[in-house]
Amino acid sequence: MGAQVDQSAIVEDNSSQLSTIINLKENKKQCFKWPLPWYYTPTFFAFWLALFFALVFPLFNNLPSAVKIYEESEKPGQFVAERAESNLLQLDLMGPKLAGYETNEVVVVQFLINEIEKIRLDMRSDIYEMELDVQQAYGSYLHWQMVNMYQGVQNVIVKLSSRHSNSSNYLLINSHYDSKPSSVGSGDAEFMITTMLEVLRQMSISEETFVHPIVFLFNGAEEQPLQGSHGFISSHKWSANCKAVLNLDSCGAGGRELLFQSGPNHPWLMRHYKKSVKHPFATTLAEEIFQADLIPSDTDFRIFRDFGPVPGLDMAGVSNGFVYHTKYDRFTAISNRALQNTGDNLLALVRSISNAEEMYDTEAYSEGHSVFFDFLGLFFIYYYESTGVALNMSFSLGGILVVCVSLWRMSRVSCENVSTLACEFGIFLLLAVFGFLLAFGFPLLISVLYDAGDRTMTYFSNSWLLIGIFICPSLIGLVLPTTLYLTLRTKEKICHAYRLQIAQHAHCVFLSALCIILTAASFRSAYLCMISLFFYFGSQVINLLSSLHDRGYFWALIVGACQIIPFLYFAYLFHALLIIIIPMTSRNGMSINPDLLVSLVCALGTVFAMGFLAQLVNIFRRPKCSIGFLSLIMFIFCMITVSDVGFPYRPKTNVMRLHFLEVHRWFYEYDGSLSLEDSGYYFDLQDRRLESPLRDSMDLTGFTRLDQDDCKTKMKCGMPCFNHRWCATVENARWLPRIEPVQLPGLPTLELLNKTVLANGFEVRYEFRLQGPPRMSLFVGPLAGVKMLNWSFLKGMLDNPAMYKPPYHVFIAFGIDHSPVNFFFQLNKENGNFAEPVFELGVSAHYMDDSHKRDDVTKAFLGSLPEFAHPMEWPTSYERYIF
């Protein structure tokens, strides 16, 4: 009986082994089979494109329905967009609002006072008290390479308090009502001003009280630049009590507002944003890009942060940046749904922070940076930077671990040596690195070629062209090395399905290494790598715990399904970045190729959104056809870009920005004689195409780059550069001379009041009085052997000679107060001879408002501009003296 049992067991064991061998052969046969025909490749790419347009695009543009005034009784406590819209229309009809001119200093200020008084009449005076103050601020600060000086700058400030509260810690809400020349400023930032007015109204009539007083700062001088916020934070009676700020600005018109700066080091603010905001839109990546000075803008948030210091949140409208700082930034560009979106968020955030326990002692909650982002506007995620480090490292190491387990599993199932698989993995890792480099290299190469052919910004009016000229090349670069390797080296013991898995693993390990490096370098945006790794880690766990890992290509179904969420997020995020960055290419300056930045963003988005998905094209037969398919699309799009479709500009919607001054110059020598008098147009060109789009419709005879000899011998090339940005690029500026002198609306008056040689015989003091329009600049250049010791302006430049070198730039701006400016210079001269030239002084005066009429020649020149060009211009005088 025992012998029979043993014999039966042997037969059964042999049968089991035979079955295992048969299964292995079947798996291997399945493993080498390419399951899908090549013509499904376009369907594969179309699926992800359809997913973008079906989910990402509508969710990105999703805005809530606007609440009407008649609905207010049915929806108590809600933001009423219709009332804000009515106020916005009134502000729009006032026209441009330049600090220092009547519209800004009188008309708008009175409008705000009237609206605030209306709110006071409706206020629950038994619960709340309201204080109104119109500040006239005087001061100065160093702004990059210039002294930014102001006098009589006006702010309208309201403090709303609960009567039962004894808190002395205030929440500050800030936005500005002034605008740029020619721009009404409905988006930047009357949109935010009217939102603040409605939030003030809702807070003042609500029965839900709050603990901490709220200060609403209606800032009258942000555009010249950032003077209103500096005037408040440096000198107003309420500023010392402000413990947190919500700063509101815009680089567009309408749409959703992006939270792009936080803290710093106050993650509790994120907790309130997460808890209260109804329509989140935020990302750490935008914060790091902005703080790296890659965006040609600044906000009042920097002033509050640096001069307060007051922590807070910085939010800005980012949609339709094409109209930013142009005459097309009008009421008609803004929907009431956008007002509702921002109003809902701001009202909820104000209610939350004004009751925050942290406001009693904000410094006690200064706990480091935070990582934050929203998912398709549906919900918001944030965590401490330290938590982010832990997550990044955990999933980076976890990704490497599951790759190791997967390779071990492959060796057990396929009976291949681990060393063979490890060698194959090493090859694919090199291919992954090469593919990563090509994914960036191809789009960057195209951007360089387009620049060389004077074809930059072809996507400016038709952003869909980016699919063909940058995204397809990035996809080609991503899949090319692996695809060529898999198709050209087919005779391998390791089956194709496993090799494709190994290719995915190589990308995972590469991302893990990248995540570790970025985390070690303190880039919070490393969370992007972590998200990719998290979902790939999850797909591998599912595959390893099931039999799908070893069943041909079935593992790809899990990988693809798990990549849907990261694809949606990355497509959403990089779509948002492109929405912001593309309009900025028209004002990013002439010396930078904007296509480099745009192609870099497209490549980043492609690598993150399609990094694990793109390699799946190798499941289809003839995978090289996918490269051919993408190449064909790229070729078609490139052909489109060289047609009229690729011309960047469109009238009214996607304009070419032209910044220029109508300049009349006088150069006076030491003896008072006039050595030069001329006139012309001084261009600070805003984009890479320079003046070439204008030549077909304008006579630009004499249009040339500034004489470099003049730039070596004259202060700031002899040009009245308007502010620090103009001065930074003055050597690349253009000059178009004109025969007829520019007729100026006026001239500044500079008086030398006194010249005194001091007792030591080596120092001299000059005293002056200057009067002129609301914007003037002084350029001061001590001559050889002379040193500036002191002056009446801010001393920061003189105290730090290593950073600030002559010629010095002092920018002077007026608000309501246009009284003359008295100032002095005290200089030291090595030889003590003050009967010869000591220093140069340039005085420029800018007549920026539309009330200053342009002369007939200028009007004719403006009339010759093509319809797609939008000028921001004004008459300017420049007088150079030698004392």
Rounded mean pLDDT, 156-181: 97
More confident residue, 289 or 415: 289
| Cα gap 695→697, rounded to integer Å | 6
User: pLDDT tens-digit profile of 799-815?
Assistant: 999 999 999 999 999 99
Distance CA 232, CA 239 (A): 6
DSSP H or E stretch at residue 93: helix 81-93
Mean pLDDT for 49-65 is 97
- What pLDDT shows up at residue 31? 53
**Antiparallel, parallel or unpaired: β 869-882 and 370-375:** unpaired
Whether pLDDT at 29 is above 70: no
Residue 9 scores a pLDDT above 70: no
| In contact, 273 and 280? CB cutoff 8 Å | yes
Q: Collapsing DSSP states into helix, strand and coil, what is residue 254?
A: coil
Q: What tokens were used for 584?
A: 């900025």
Q: Which residues contact 604 (CB under 8 A, 6 or more apart)?
A: 574
Intervals of CATH 3.40.630.10 along the chain: 69-376
* Lookup: tokens for 171: 């929440």
Share of the chain above pLDDT 70, in %: 96
> Which of the four pLDDT bands, split at 50, 70 and 90, describes residue 166?
very high
Q: Which phi-psi region, left, alpha or beta, contains residue 409 (left: φ > 0; alpha: ψ -120 to 50)?
A: alpha
- Asked if pLDDT for residue 407 goes beyond 80, the answer is yes
Q: Is the Cα dihedral 218, 223, 229, 235 positive or negative?
A: negative
Place of tokens 């790939």: 536
456 within 8 A of 450, measured Cβ to Cβ? yes
pLDDT in tens, 184-235: 999 999 999 999 999 999 999 999 999 999 999 999 999 989 999 999 999 9
Nearest to 641 by CA among 462, 805, 802: 462
pLDDT at 490: 65
Which regions of 385-446 does DSSP assign to beta strands (E)? none
Tokens of 516: 């570790």
d(CA 84, CA 200): 11
Q: Which of 274, 288, 398 lies closest to 348, judged by CA?
A: 274
Under the banding of pLDDT at 50, 70 and 90, the label for residue 488 is confident
The DSSP annotation for 533-577 comes to HHHHHHHHHHHHHSSGGGSTTHHHHHHHHHTHHHHHHHHHHHHHH
Question: Is pLDDT of 423 > 50?
Answer: yes
CATH class of 69-376: alpha beta
* Mean pLDDT on 467-495: 90
Give the residue carrying structure tokens 């890479």: 688
Residue 732: per-residue pLDDT: 93
The one-letter amino acid code at 757 reads: V
Q: Confidence class of residue 20 from pLDDT cuts 50, 70 and 90?
A: very low
What integer pLDDT is reported at residue 3 of this predicted model? Answer: 43
- Report angle CA 502, 503, 506 to the nearest 5 degrees: 85
pTM confidence score: 0.93
Confidence bin at 17 (pLDDT 50/70/90) = very low
DSSP of 21-51? HHHHHHHHHHHH---B-GGGHHHHHHHHHHH
Assess whether pLDDT exceeds 90 at residue 34.
Answer: no
According to DSSP, the β-strands at 808-814 and 146-162 are parallel
* Cα separation, 14 vs 6, whole angstroms: 12
Cα(306)–Cα(310) distance, integer angstroms: 8
Which helix (H) or strand (E) element contains residue 726? helix 724-728
Q: How confident is the model at residue 33 (pLDDT cuts 50, 70, 90)?
A: low
